[in-house]
Structures are given as C-alpha cells and as structure tokens.
Structure 1
C-alpha cells in the first residue's frame, strides 16, 4: 500500500509546480521533499517525475496517482465533516480567502455572526484575489473562497470544487467630474463620451480587466488606461479627484454614501456574480455551512442604498 503522506507530496507538487514551493508551503527542506518523492517512485516501481529544464513535471503514471489521491483526500474531508457534525460545539479553524470589496462589505458582518453563534471557532481571513485564491483552495491552503465572475467572462470550473451563488453585484460607470449632459443618458453614449479620458482598471491578465476593456471596445474606443491596481478603493479615490474614469461595483460603497456620479452600463453587462467556493469534500463541514449561512445573512442585512 502506498504511503499517504508521500502521495500528498506528489499532489502538492502538481498544484504548486515546484519542489521549492511544496517545501515552503509545508515547512520542509526541499531535499526532504525530493527524498520522499524518490521513495514513492521506488514504491510504485515507475518514474513519477521527469525533468523539464530546471523543473520537473509529473508523468502519466503520477497523474493517475494524483487523481486517486484527490479521491482519498476528499473522502477524508468528508469523514472530518461527519465527526465535526457529531459534536455539539463547533471548534477548530476556518480559513477564508476573499477579494477586497467582499472583504470590506460582507466579511466583517459575517465574522460577527460567527463569533456570536460559535465563539470557539477560529476564523482566519486573507485578502486575496480569486485568480490566486482558487488554486490555493485546491492546494488546501483555504477552506472557503469568496470569488467573483464578470459578465460574459465565465470562470473555469476546476473539478473537485463546488460553487454557491451569494449575490449579483451591480457594476456602474463612475464619472470623473460633474454629471454628463442630458444627451448622454443612453448608456453607450455615456461610455463613449469618456473615450478620450484617462481610465483606472485592474491589471492586465485579470478577468475584470478583460471585461472592462471589452466593454470599451464594444462602445467603439480603446481605453487610455493610465492607472492599474486591484485596489478598488484607489479606483474610487482617483475618480473622486477627477484623475480617471472607472467601472465600480456597488459593494465598494460598503454602506457609505456615494461620492461620484454613476451611470448604468450597456445592457447585459451590468452585474458581476459573487459566490463562495469550497472543495467538494469540505462542503458539508459544519464550519463551512455556518460560514456560508453567515455570509448570506450579511448580504440580507445590507441596506437598500448599498445597491
């Protein structure tokens, strides 16, 4: 029978990419990881790794082993969930990753609800964008991720992960100055009126940037992006100071009054989907169920002015 610890190291290598990354994540020496994987190769009797430049990649047989390891780990997580459900007091640690606006608008309220209902549950929250958080969820760095999906830009759905919708978050055009003239009431005309103005957007390679650029191109212009950041509060500040135009989600206000002029976007592009993601074997764990319930209640507590 193969050693589960060594199988987990092989799985970690698949998700993290390098021996050094596996060693850093698990607080091992790289030489120790290498030795354990060499022993696993000896146990299996076939090569599991092959060199590619200065890195290694998994062989076909290693991929087969990883697939079976995933199934075993999912079953073990279900066992952990069943044990936790049999207890009267919810304890342990729940690790959450969230993108910025959800962390500001929803997570604090959810944390308060969890603290009141389950005072012995430790909750760790990390600010991380979904592009990095979802792979980290697969690598078991987190138990639950708050993620987002922009209109017309569906996210890949990796096997072994389960999504649950939380809310639709309206997106609006934020104007860098006084309201536009009445002849720009049409959403497309309002967007075109900012063709020559500087823009702030999220960095290249993000789904938000792809969505925003496509929206501008569909309106007939290439946006002049002079500011790039994932910090939507900085987006807001740049709009407030008339330095840039932006697309802002309603969650950015977090119960505060709106400080810039906003316009509707062209039809079909008006809301992003916010959802939670967990590993399949973790979805019935009482801590995950409690967290998802707290987040739904946090959404319900938002005032009408929050969008």
Structure 2
C-alpha cells in the first residue's frame, strides 16, 4: 500500500517543477520533501526521479504513478463534494482566482450574492492571470478560476479540468479624444509580450497591414485606460472595464470575428459537483447577466 501523502508530494513535484517550489507551497523544507520522496521510491521499489542538471524530473515509472494519483485525488474530490452536498448549509473556504477586469467587475457582486445566500461560506479571492491561475488550479492552489480566451488564441485544454462558458466580453479600439488619424502611427499600450492578449492584439494590427508602436506594457487595464484618457496611447479595451458605466474615451468597433473574448469558469473535474463550486458558478453567472443588462440599458 502506497502512502497517499507521499504520492501527493510526487504529484506536486510534477506540477511545480522543483523540490523548492513544492516545499514553499506546502510549508515544508526541501530536505523534508526529498526525504519523503526517497521513502516513496523504497515503497515502490523503482526510481521515481532522475537528475537533469540541478533539477530532477519524473521517470517513466514516476509518471505512471502520478497518473494513478490524479485519478485517486479526483475520486477524493468527488467524495468531498458528496459529503458537502449532504450538509444543510455551506461552510469552509472556496479559493477563487480572477484576472483584473473580472476581479473589478464580477467579483464584488458575486461576493454579495454568496454572502446573502451562504453567510458561513468563506471566499478567498486572488487576482491572477489565467496563464498563472490555471496551472495553480491543477496544483490545487485554487478551487475555481475565471479564465479568458482571445479570438484565435485558445488556452491549453487539460483533461482533468472542467470549463463552463460564463459570458462574452466585447473588445474595442480606444483612441485619445480628437485622434482623427486612426490607430496607425500612434503610440500603443498593450499587455506584456508572451501573453495571449498581446499575441491577439499584434495579430489584429498586422492583419490590418501595419505594425503597432508599443511603448507601454502592462497587465493593468486601468493603466491602459488612463494612458488613452490623457492622450498618450491607443489601446484595445474590453467592455467589462466600464462595468455598465458610460465610456470615457472614443471607442471603435473591431473587425467581425475578432470582437470579443470568451470568459469561462474552470474547476477540477472531481470538484464540479461541490455545492460551494456550484453556488459560486451560479453567482458569477448572475453577476455577468446583470452587467450585460446594465450595459444594454446604458
């Protein structure tokens, strides 16, 4: 019989990459993690790790063991969901990650709905971009992630994660007031290189036949907006940024098929039936619908 705690350490190593990262995430010392994995190797009877420079990676046998560990942990998630579903009220902590504009606009009304319906449920919110939040979800740092997907740039799909559509968020070209010469030849603010938003924005400009002069880089959409408002840059801004309010800068429609990003909620497959996860998804969906209605009324 293999020790589940040690199996989880091996799984954490696969997802986090280094002994130091596993130790930091679980509040152990690296030497303690290494010792526990050595004991697991003795239990299994074959090497599970092999050195690669100053790092280690899983052997073929280690990968096999982690695959089975994933299945066991998913069943435990299902058991946890069923136990929680048998109780009369929601308690405990739900760990939620959301990117900036979702955190600004969707999270506050979602928290209000959850507080009214489930006052004993504690919701812990972290602002994180999907490219960091989704791996952390797989590593069990979060229970639910609000993700975004730009046209033509889908994020990787993982079989152990379950994704449900939340809403569509229209993207528009924002220009400084009085900018009559269009976006070409102007300074631009975009998200950092390597992000899905940056790849989408660059492809959009290049397809239009010109190269943007990107002078400012940030994941902060409020900074993007301020630079446009004060005449320093053009930007591509999501409607979610306005939260039903009247835009403060001139906005132009983008070409058909490239106008919106897809918002979704992502959880681990075994936890999708957990009542806290279901309640959070329902509250997020209602918050998104309310925002859509407010935008339509505006």
Q: How far is 1:267 from its partner?
A: 1.3
3-state SS of the aligned residue for 1:47?
coil
The answer to whether the aligner puts 1:209 opposite 2:215 as a matched pair is no
Distance 1:70 1:202 in 2: 34
Distance 2:273 2:179 in 1: 49
Q: How far is 1:303 from its partner?
A: 5.4
Distance 1:132 1:93 in 2: 21
Distance 2:110 2:289 in 1: 11
Contact 1:200 1:227 in 2 (8 A): yes
Tell me the residue number matched to 1:112: 112
Moved over 2 A (4+): 303-307
Distance 2:293 2:95 in 1: 30
In structure 1, which of residues 196, 201, 205 is the aligned counterpart of residue 185 of structure 2?
196
The answer to whether the aligner puts 1:291 opposite 2:277 as a matched pair is no
Tell me the residue number matched to 2:156: 156
3-state SS of the aligned residue for 1:302?
helix
Contact 1:143 1:278 in 2 (8 A): yes
Distance 1:241 1:179 in 2: 12
If the length of structure 2 is used for normalisation, what is the TM-score? 0.97
Contact 1:251 1:306 in 2 (8 A): no
If the length of structure 1 is used for normalisation, what is the TM-score? 0.95
3-state SS of the aligned residue for 1:248?
strand
Q: How far is 1:111 from its partner?
A: 0.3
CA RMSD of aligned residues (A): 1.1
Q: How far is 1:291 from its partner?
A: 0.1
Tell me the residue number matched to 2:87: 87
Q: How far is 1:256 from its partner?
A: 2.5
Contact 1:174 1:245 in 2 (8 A): yes
Q: How far is 1:11 from its partner?
A: 0.1
Q: How far is 1:159 from its partner?
A: 1.7
The answer to whether the aligner puts 1:281 opposite 2:270 as a matched pair is yes
Q: 1:303 to 1:2 in 2, by over 3 A?
A: closer
**1:167-182 matches, cutoff 5 A:** 167-178=167-178, 180=180
Tell me the residue number matched to 1:260: 249
Tell me the residue number matched to 1:55: 55
Could you tell me which runs of 5 or more consecutive residues in structure 1 were left unpaired when the two chains were aligned.
Answer: 182-192
**1:105-144 matches, cutoff 5 A:** 105-144=105-144
Q: Which moved more, 1:118-127 or 1:193-202?
A: 193-202
Q: How far is 1:179 from its partner?
A: 5.8
Tell me the residue number matched to 1:300: 289
Deviations, residues 30-88 of structure 1 (Å, cap 9, x unaligned): 10000000010111111111101100000000000000000000000100000000000
Contact 1:179 1:261 in 2 (8 A): no
Distance 2:270 2:293 in 1: 36
Tell me the residue number matched to 1:223: 212
Q: How far is 1:155 from its partner?
A: 1.2
Tell me the residue number matched to 1:25: 25
